[in-house]
A and B are shown apart, each in its own frame.
Chain A
Amino acid sequence: MTTSELQFDTPSDRVVEGPVLQVEDLHVSFPSESGRVQAVRGLSYHVAPGEVLGIVGESGSGKSVSSLAVMGLLPSSARITGSIKFQGRELIGQNDAELSKIRGRRISMVFQDPLSALTPVFTVGDQIAEAILVHRKVSKQAAAKRAVELLDLVGIPNAAERAKAFPHEFSGGMRQRAVIAMAIANDPDLIIADEPTTALDVTVQAQVLQLLETAQEVTGAGIVIITHDLGVVAGFADRLMVMYAGRAVEKGKVDEIYQQPRMPYTLGLLGSIPRLDVSEKQALVPIKGQPPSLTDLPDGCPFAPRCPMVVDACHTAEPPLMDVDGSVEHAAACIRTNEIAATDAEGAEAAVEIFGAEVAGEPEVAKIPREQREVVLGLDNLVKEYPVNKGVVFKRRVGTVHAVAGISFDIREGETLGLVGESGCGKTTTLMEILNLQKPMGGEISVLGTKSSEVDAKRRFAIRRDMSVVFQDPMASLDPRLTIHDCIAEPMQVHGYSKDEINRRVPELMRLVGLRPEQLSRYPGEFSGGQRQRIGIARALALEPKLVVLDEPVSALDVSIQAGVINLLEELKSKLGLAYLFVAHDLSVVRHIADRVAVMYLGKIIEIGEVNSVFEAPRHPYTQALLSAIPIPDPVKERQRERIILTGDLPSPANPPSGCRFRTRCFLHASLPPEKQRQCIEVEPPREVQAEDHEAACHFAQIRQVL
């Protein structure tokens, strides 16, 4: 493929001067059971050609709705007023047929969920070709050829072959690549990316972000990237707009916003993100309360009820966006911007100062040396395999999925072990094996010294008291048909607590997790995600367990809420001396909360050790790649960082590579001379001690700084 074959105009060919997209005073509202929802209230912004605008905000802040309005994709029940000008042409009021000429041709969109953005019944190549055929008069063969070129451009190996594959044969990252290929197929002038990386693993996220950058270079388009993660946009966006309750509350150049945020909400957002590059315990800023209901907004600043700097004047009128620091580019909607500017600290430190966040202390038990503490959970060479069967009547076993291929670790009293890895690496399987407490297929699980292979039903029931679980999705982990009281009381009822004891303990637990006991008679549906997660934690603590298994407990929460839950977990740990098994894919959260960390790859632990040692001096190439893929919410640092981009996806656990399982994606392996490569291919690297409390499984382990 040569570039000349691609039908991209060069960026200098632009016909239209001025901004690609100009949004003025946009209002969008929807009908709902409890009145009209004012999803967007007077939003104005513009995107210049070749510029990347980041829109950041919590869920429900109107960021997706505003971009769907630009695409003309809102349901007919939405009421839209204001002006949306694309290359000087008004879009509001145009009918669907006219918009369709622009959509996909001049403006294109990358959606969050790559699974539902592709039709499962057509091949990927056909779908991309279709995007071209709709807008251009070219022959089918030419469109198909171009689809292959586009797939090649977005980095799908063997593009000609893969174009004939169906979406389900693609992994998540590859699907998102195909969606981006479709988005750039007609050389658009504007690409709207709505949370393009949220559904993806960190390693894939890095790939996709880099690809979006390439797409922008190739097409010269303006990009609007919508996200809730301030880290993602730090290194990628030129300008940033922070949205809250349907309005822009702060906008400006990326560096200005990260270094001199002038609106308390932006401050709070910045302060609530755990940083991967901070080793000492950093205080996380939780923003209290939850976003206001958009049906019935009070007068005054919508952020006032959650703001630590609120004064009476805040409740009188909603502050408009005003230029701050004498800069025309930087504007914030707050009446006290000058006072924020007067604080000496910058960015996140200012947030800690203003919001008054504190670091939880260490638990008492942590003062005893680790070797002398009791082992709460021990895994010894745990194995879990699933058969792959074929045939309907007579099932033949045709293969084995090695979900967990012999892992060992232990957790001692008062300690947090973070278990990290990409999806599909066997984290969840490990967790389920531990929680099921059945005899494992191989190896041994022991809880507080009791081996799971030797226990009977009665003993197993007793062990369940000492081990509880908090799930990822706070929406799904509480039975919607039970009141909060019944939810929290359930484990105690099961384990035969008396009624009086339960009635005494439930309000106590509510207070422990920072909720009001008066709310006990309500149903889970009346609580926000963060509150539900707190209820889930209260339920987990009901039986006073020694070990709490946390399955991605904060990944489904907004960042501002996430900080509150992390703080709560740390506080509980130090108060009750709990041990946590913390499963997560977000390494910055793990760095913040864990004492030790274990990195899993394809059913094996490839690196394990004390958290600072692993993060600061990672030995295994996979850990290095994982760490380098995580964005840091600091534009200056982020632009200077060198990214290790892993090629390809996780191999199938049904057919893992011989020798070292990581070698197929390993950059270190690729750089080795052939005789050393042979060792990777033939010999599986054992876990070897690299430093004090730090083991890694690599033949050629060497330290590489990636933060």
Chain B
Amino acid sequence: MTVILNEGDAAGTTGAASGGPVDAAPEPGKAMTRGRLVLIRFMRNKLALVGLLVIIGMYLMAFVGPLLSKWSYDTQDYTAFLEPPYSEHIFGTDKIGTDMFALTMRGLQKSLIIGLLVALISTTVAAIVGAAAGYFLGVADKALMWVVDLLLVLPSFLIIAILSPWFRGKSWFLLVLMLAAFQWMITARIVRGMTLTLKEREFVKAAKFMGQPARKIIAKHIVPNMASLLIIDATINVGSAVLAETGLSYFGFGVQSPDVSLGTLIGGNAESATTFPWLFLFPAGFLVVFVLAVNWVGDGLRDALDPTSTRVRRKEKKDTKEKAA
């Protein structure tokens, strides 16, 4: 475990270093770009920074970790059944002798990939649908919002559970599509609302009056101006997609064997939680830490991107008090 933490740390420091000087005061006279301002504000939020490091560390670990371990998730060590963590198997082994570290990393890989893809797909769909509905209004808006409302009232868990026999044995990518299909609606509604206000902004009107076609206006002016919302949304969606995936997999509706995910691991080992705790605690612990980190980053991004956030001012007050003391 200590090794892993160090690894995460190393990854984090390099990430921060490439991000440029962190808390350095901007050069006098030079106007601050928005990106720089956001970066400074984000860096000031220590919790979000820790969250970011944890996420980067986990992705690295999930994909690099298995290469460093001599055990693989589909081979068994017949000399060690249900062993607690020790030097040979740092996370212990399960009842057929599979290395828990290799297994957890494999599960983490799948969960993180699914989380990332679902977030990307659902946010993209939300941006396109929301912006189109808000920009064109009329029939397009009515139809798209009808679809949104319909999907919102359908119980997504139930539907995926019912459909799960059908995609058994097929690619896990189908699961990604299913999850994404039920995650974009609320964002799409927010995007539609923002589009309605952006549409009234003069630069959009200016583009319209110079003859720019509608789809280009959406791609060039409307969606980029909602980037902050979309980034925050995508980040938080990663967390909720991982949770949804593990939830489904726990009940056996999500990722199917021989593939493993955090959900199948947690589900499969839940009954051993008290007797052989390492079987349950490692996958569950990773899940909890990951989702927590995602939420911290999401919070930090929102504070950094939102000009009305008060965190900065509170911080400054504290600083001046310290100086005075």
B34 to A490, Cβ gap below 8 A?
no
B209 to A480, Cβ gap below 8 A?
no
A671 at the interface (CB under 8 A from B): no
Evaluate whether A461 and B202 lie within 8 angstroms (CB atoms) in the complex, with A31-B313, A293-B29, A523-B33 already known: no
With the chains together, A527 CA to B88 CA distance in Å?
Answer: 62
Counting chain A residues whose Cβ lies within 8 A of the other chain, the interface size class is 35 or more
With the chains together, A481 CA to B317 CA distance in Å?
Answer: 32
A34 to B317, Cβ gap below 8 A?
no
Of B1-9, B144-152, B221-229, B278-286, which binds chain A? B221-229
* Residues on the A chain within 8 Å of B40, using CB: 33
Annotate B26-49 by CB proximity to A: 1 below 8 A, 0 otherwise: 101101111001001100000000
A296 to B205, Cβ gap below 8 A?
no
Most interface-central of A76, A79, A477 (chain B CB within 10 A): A477
Residue of B nearest to A470 (CB): B206
Contact of B202 among A79, A471, A490 (CB under 8 A): A471
With the chains together, A476 CA to B28 CA distance in Å?
Answer: 27
* Residues on the B chain within 8 Å of A464, using CB: 209-211
Nearest-Cβ distance from residue A480 to partner chain B, whole angstroms: 7
Residue of A nearest to B207 (CB): A490
With the chains together, A601 CA to B158 CA distance in Å?
Answer: 62
The A interface, classified by DSSP as helix, strand, loop or mixed, is: loop
B34 to A480, Cβ gap below 8 A?
yes
With the chains together, A471 CA to B28 CA distance in Å?
Answer: 32
A472 to B202, Cβ gap below 8 A?
yes
With the chains together, A295 CA to B25 CA distance in Å?
Answer: 12
B257 at the interface (CB under 8 A from A): no
A494 at the interface (CB under 8 A from B): yes
Annotate A494-525 by CB proximity to B: 1 below 8 A, 0 otherwise: 11000000000000000000000000000101
B209 to A468, Cβ gap below 8 A?
yes
A546 at the interface (CB under 8 A from B): no
With the chains together, A543 CA to B209 CA distance in Å?
Answer: 12
Contact of A461 among B205, B206, B211 (CB under 8 A): B211
* Residues on the A chain within 8 Å of B31, using CB: 525-526
* Residues on the A chain within 8 Å of B311, using CB: none
With the chains together, A35 CA to B205 CA distance in Å?
Answer: 37
Evaluate whether A77 and B313 lie within 8 angstroms (CB atoms) in the complex, with A435-B209, A490-B207 already known: yes
Nearest-Cβ distance from residue A298 to partner chain B, whole angstroms: 10
The A-contacting residues of B in range 176-225, CB under 8 angstroms, are 201-203, 205-207, 209-212, 216, 220-221, 224-225
Nearest-Cβ distance from residue A489 to partner chain B, whole angstroms: 11
* Residues on the A chain within 8 Å of B171, using CB: none
B313 to A480, Cβ gap below 8 A?
no
Residue of B nearest to A293 (CB): B29
B210 to A490, Cβ gap below 8 A?
yes
B206 to A539, Cβ gap below 8 A?
yes
The A-contacting residues of B in range 267-324, CB under 8 angstroms, are 312-313, 316-317, 320
* Residues on the A chain within 8 Å of B320, using CB: 31, 79
* Residues on the B chain within 8 Å of A495, using CB: 210-211
Evaluate whether A469 and B209 lie within 8 angstroms (CB atoms) in the complex, with A33-B40, A479-B203 already known: yes
B212 to A490, Cβ gap below 8 A?
yes
* Residues on the B chain within 8 Å of A480, using CB: 34, 225
With the chains together, A468 CA to B205 CA distance in Å?
Answer: 11
With the chains together, A31 CA to B225 CA distance in Å?
Answer: 28
Contact of B225 among A75, A481, A523, A526 (CB under 8 A): A481
Nearest-Cβ distance from residue A84 to partner chain B, whole angstroms: 21
* Residues on the B chain within 8 Å of A490, using CB: 207, 210, 212
With the chains together, A490 CA to B204 CA distance in Å?
Answer: 12
A491 at the interface (CB under 8 A from B): yes
With the chains together, A476 CA to B221 CA distance in Å?
Answer: 12
With the chains together, A543 CA to B317 CA distance in Å?
Answer: 51
A150 at the interface (CB under 8 A from B): no
Annotate A24-43 by CB proximity to B: 1 below 8 A, 0 otherwise: 00000001011100000000
* Residues on the A chain within 8 Å of B32, using CB: 33-34
Evaluate whether A469 and B33 lie within 8 angstroms (CB atoms) in the complex, with A77-B313, A494-B211 already known: no
A473 at the interface (CB under 8 A from B): yes
With the chains together, A494 CA to B211 CA distance in Å?
Answer: 7
With the chains together, A478 CA to B209 CA distance in Å?
Answer: 14
Residue of A nearest to B227 (CB): A481
- The tally of residues in B whose CB lies under 8 Å from a CB in A reads 32
* Residues on the A chain within 8 Å of B202, using CB: 471-473, 476-477
Nearest-Cβ distance from residue B22 to partner chain A, whole angstroms: 14
Most interface-central of B40, B41, B201, B209 (chain A CB within 10 A): B209
With the chains together, A491 CA to B206 CA distance in Å?
Answer: 9
A479 to B205, Cβ gap below 8 A?
no
Nearest-Cβ distance from residue A606 to partner chain B, whole angstroms: 28
Most interface-central of B25, B201, B210, B320 (chain A CB within 10 A): B210
Contact of A77 among B37, B203, B227, B316 (CB under 8 A): B316
* Residues on the A chain within 8 Å of B26, using CB: 33-34
Residue of A nearest to B224 (CB): A481
Residue of A nearest to B223 (CB): A481
B317 to A77, Cβ gap below 8 A?
yes
Annotate B60-94 by CB proximity to A: 1 below 8 A, 0 otherwise: 00000000000000000000000000000000000
A494 to B224, Cβ gap below 8 A?
no
With the chains together, A35 CA to B32 CA distance in Å?
Answer: 12
With the chains together, A386 CA to B258 CA distance in Å?
Answer: 64
With the chains together, A523 CA to B25 CA distance in Å?
Answer: 21
With the chains together, A481 CA to B202 CA distance in Å?
Answer: 14
Annotate A64-77 by CB proximity to B: 1 below 8 A, 0 otherwise: 00000000000111
Evaluate whether A471 and B205 lie within 8 angstroms (CB atoms) in the complex, with A34-B25, A525-B33 already known: yes
Residue of B nearest to A477 (CB): B202
* Residues on the A chain within 8 Å of B34, using CB: 480, 523, 525
The B-contacting residues of A in range 434-455, CB under 8 angstroms, are 435
* Residues on the A chain within 8 Å of B37, using CB: 33
Contact of A476 among B201, B211, B212 (CB under 8 A): B201
Nearest-Cβ distance from residue A244 to partner chain B, whole angstroms: 19
Residue of A nearest to B225 (CB): A481
* Residues on the A chain within 8 Å of B224, using CB: 479, 481
With the chains together, A16 CA to B158 CA distance in Å?
Answer: 78
A478 to B212, Cβ gap below 8 A?
no
With the chains together, A480 CA to B220 CA distance in Å?
Answer: 11
B206 to A471, Cβ gap below 8 A?
yes
Annotate B216-253 by CB proximity to A: 1 below 8 A, 0 otherwise: 10001100110100000000000000000000000000
* Residues on the B chain within 8 Å of A494, using CB: 210-212, 216
With the chains together, A276 CA to B244 CA distance in Å?
Answer: 68
A478 to B211, Cβ gap below 8 A?
no
* Residues on the A chain within 8 Å of B220, using CB: 479, 482
Residue of A nearest to B36 (CB): A33
With the chains together, A525 CA to B34 CA distance in Å?
Answer: 8
With the chains together, A523 CA to B224 CA distance in Å?
Answer: 14
With the chains together, A293 CA to B32 CA distance in Å?
Answer: 13
* Residues on the A chain within 8 Å of B203, using CB: 476-479
Residue of B nearest to A436 (CB): B209
With the chains together, A481 CA to B33 CA distance in Å?
Answer: 11
* Residues on the A chain within 8 Å of B312, using CB: 33
* Residues on the B chain within 8 Å of A31, using CB: 313, 316-317, 320
* Residues on the B chain within 8 Å of A465, using CB: 211
With the chains together, A35 CA to B25 CA distance in Å?
Answer: 8
* Residues on the A chain within 8 Å of B33, using CB: 523, 525-526
Question: 12 new A-B pairs (CB below 8 Å) besides A31-B320, A76-B317?
Answer: A33-B40, A33-B41, A75-B313, A77-B317, A79-B320, A293-B29, A479-B221, A481-B224, A523-B34, A525-B33, A526-B31, A543-B210
Q: List, sorted by A's number, 6 A–B pairs whose CB atoms are closer than 8 Å.
A: A461-B211, A471-B206, A479-B220, A479-B221, A494-B212, A539-B206
Chain B residues packing against A (C-beta within 8 Å): 25-26, 28-29, 31-34, 37, 40-41, 201-203, 205-207, 209-212, 216, 220-221, 224-225, 227, 312-313, 316-317, 320
Shortest 5 CB-CB contacts between residues of A and residues of B: A477-B202, A471-B202, A31-B316, A491-B210, A464-B211
